[in-house]
Amino acid sequence: MANTTIDPAILKRAQAWLNDNNIDDETKSRISTMIDNNPAELAESFYCDLEFGTGGLRGIMGDGTNRMNKYTVGMATQGLANYLKKVFAKDNEIRLAIAHDSRNKSDYFAKIAADVLSANGITVFLFEHLRPTPELSFAVRYLHCHSGIVITASHNPKEYNGYKVYWNDGAQLVPPHDDNVIIEVKKIASIAEVNFAGDTMKINMIGESIDKEFLKVSKSYSLAPEVIAPQKDMKIVYTPLHGTGITLVPQALKNYGFQNIHLVEEQAISDGNFPTIVSPNPEEKAAMKMAMDKALAINADLVLATDPDADRIGVGVKDLDGNYILLNGNQTAALLTYYLVKQWQAKGKLTGNEYIVKTIVTTELIGDIAKSAGVEYFDCLTGFKWIAEVIRNMEGKKTFIGGGEESYGYMIGDFVRDKDAVTACCIFAECAAWAASKGKSLYELLLDIYLEYGLYKENLVNVVRKGMSGQAEIKAMMEGYRVNPPKEIAGSKVKLMNDFALSQTTDIHTGKISPIELPKSDVLQFFLEDGSKISMRPSGTEPKIKFYFSVRTDLKAVADFKQVEAKLDGRIEEIIVAMGLR
């Protein structure tokens, strides 16, 4: 045995599972094998508990306290059940909806959650097959549930899975419920406290009827069906990247009136191994290659993709030279916002009481578009739960048009309270039809936006730091910037620093401190004198720290676009190098 190479504290945690009568023999056998043959994996599996954060769980699947498995999912669910029974103690019935994506073991974890909840007397509505995350959000409200769960790791690699929790408004948890659920989960000290004995009488299978209602409401958000009819044969290539989008997106597009939809058949197969791609992330060129190749082969007008749980959308279009390119998340957000605002104007729907929401790391172009139409816009923290919170606070007061974030997530209307790639695909296709009705491509429409509002360019650098040491390194990196903020970056002086953990803005020149009226979050932003914006935050779901860069300048003519874009790209690269990230 290799026990001498194993940290005694980690070995003690592993042996606690070996000695626990509630752990099955197969799991114990695999743990024993790790002890004997793979102390490094044992350390990663047991050095801590898989943290139930404000969004739920996310981690690598496997055995141990720091892995997604029956026992960690069960303990999280027991904690959630305990909290629901406290908050809704006076209700005759507590109801909860569960959906899952195409990942390996997603259906298994969904069933585990259903069993634990039903064993605790909670009525469960369980989708009988994989479904998109936005449909789960919709189902929570449609079925008058108190809470919801979706089993997904979004666009993470295949070895990951996750567990997201929703409240009765169909949005992910925000204070105080997020912190209170975490407290209840942490109170579950042993697996023996988890009731896995499911009550089948409390578990209701759902599916097609919810699909129909979701699609019906989604279709109601169409703003210009009259522009679709002449463009109904517009060629659209769609790939669900082996995920849940296949269950709704093609039908949703047909419901809107689009009749010429071409699936990437190899990726239309729901498979948690994601056999045709390394990572099922529509942000990445490699994941989109098959769709882009198909578009080239058939001369498609538009390429659409959704990630495994169909809350994020990837978009491909033709540029002025006829080459297919991928739009980044900020460009897609700008086009959607522009289309929504222009259609609301054209239809006479703007009364001065409407609003748009974006996150603090998303392009400022969205705010410019909204303001030009007299539409109010709000900034919020990163994550759609904060966009949903704005909607909740504004209900009955103002009308939500749409919202989005740079990480390829968008929401049109408020019938769903999370990222909704299903409806976003449809509205984006409608936007393409609208552009075509004006004799323009989507790319040309984007250039028109830049001519009107200025050319914004953004970039994102992910610094990955995995494992035990990685967490400490990320924390130290943020603390270094917070305690010793730079005075200048790449030749431009730092003007302001926003510290969302301290809820304050500091004028670097004068030292004046002003409050930030947003919830606390471990995010820093630097605003430079040349107009550049730099944001940094540790990911809440992945072992990395994200650096966001944004620069802007005027664009006088389309003919100048490539030259001006190259200049902005160069400026971003200067900043990245100056910060030691290259």
Q: Where are the domains of the chain?
A: 48-210, 231-451, 456-578
pLDDT of the residue at 4:
54
Residue with tokens 């099955």: 24
- Within 13 Å and on the Cβ side, how many CA atoms surround 294? 21
Task: Give the span between the Cα atoms of 549 and 535, in whole angstroms.
Answer: 7
Convert 30-84 into a string of H (helix), E (strand) and C (coil): HHHHHHHHCHHHHHHHHCCCCCCECCEEEEEECCCCCCECHHHHHHHHHHHHHHH
pLDDT of the residue at 465:
84
In this structure, of 357-366, 457-466, 499-508, the range with the lowest mean pLDDT score is 457-466
Residue type, 127: F
Instruction: Give phi and psi for 340, each to the nearest 5.
Output: -60, -50
Choice among 118, 154, 222, 532 that is catalytic: 154
The stretch 42-71 carries a mean pLDDT of: 93
Task: Give the span between the Cα atoms of 145 and 209, in whole angstroms.
Answer: 16
Tokens, residue 154: 């979004």
The stretch 411-439 carries a mean pLDDT of: 97
The stretch 317-327 carries a mean pLDDT of: 96
The stretch 65-71 carries a mean pLDDT of: 97
Residue 101: closest CA among 146, 60, 161: 161
Question: Is residue 9 predicted with pLDDT exceeding 70?
Answer: yes
Residue with tokens 């500091």: 506
The stretch 494-502 carries a mean pLDDT of: 95
Q: Checking DSSP bridges between strand 160-167 and strand 147-151, what pairing results, if any?
A: antiparallel
**Does domain 48-210 match CATH 3.40.120.10?**
yes
Question: Is residue 460 predicted with pLDDT exceeding 60?
Answer: yes
- Cβ of 189: how many Cβ atoms within 10 Å? 8
3-state secondary structure of 333: helix
pLDDT of the residue at 501:
94
Q: Would you give the DSSP letter of residue 200?
A: G
Question: Is residue 2 predicted with pLDDT exceeding 80?
Answer: no
Instruction: Give phi and psi for 233, each to the nearest 5.
Output: -95, 10
Residue 238: closest CA among 191, 275, 291: 291
The residues that bridge with 526 in the sheet, in sequence order, are 497, 534
pLDDT of the residue at 131:
98
Percent over 90 (pLDDT), the chain: 92
Task: Give the span between the Cα atoms of 81 and 477, in whole angstroms.
Answer: 37
Say whether 456-578 and 231-451 share the same fold: no
- Does this model's pTM top 0.85? My answer is yes
Q: Interior CA angle at 260 toward 255 and 266, to 5°? A: 100
Percent over 70 (pLDDT), the chain: 99
Q: Would you give the DSSP letter of residue 385?
A: H
Question: Is residue 3 predicted with pLDDT exceeding 50?
Answer: no
Sorted by sequence, the CB contacts under 8 Å of residue 205 that are 6+ apart come out as 126, 127, 128
pLDDT of the residue at 541:
63
pLDDT tens readout for residues 177-211: 999 999 999 999 999 999 999 999 999 999 999 99
**Superfamily (CATH H level) for 456-578:** Alpha-D-phosphohexomutase, C-terminal domain (3.30.310.50)
Q: What torsion, rounded to 10 degrees, do the Cα atoms 60, 48, 58, 466 define? A: -60
3-state secondary structure of 28: helix
pLDDT of the residue at 164:
97
Question: Is residue 1 predicted with pLDDT exceeding 60?
Answer: no
CB 334 within 8 A of CB 422: no
Question: Is residue 13 predicted with pLDDT exceeding 60?
Answer: yes
Task: End-to-end CA distance of the chain: give it in Å, rounded.
Answer: 43
Strands (DSSP E) found in 308-451: 313-318, 324-326, 354-359, 376-380, 399-405, 409-412
Q: Checking DSSP bridges between strand 533-538 and strand 524-528, what pairing results, if any?
A: antiparallel
In this structure, of 51-65, 251-265, 516-530, 531-545, the range with the lowest mean pLDDT score is 531-545
Sorted by sequence, the CB contacts under 8 Å of residue 447 that are 6+ apart come out as 320, 555, 558, 561
Give, in words, the CATH class of 231-451: alpha beta
Residue 352: closest CA among 402, 403, 399: 399
pLDDT of the residue at 355:
98
Going from the C-alpha of 442 to that of each of 291, 421, 558, the distances in angstroms are: 18, 18, 14
pLDDT of the residue at 177:
95
For the question of residue 154 being annotated catalytic, the response is: yes
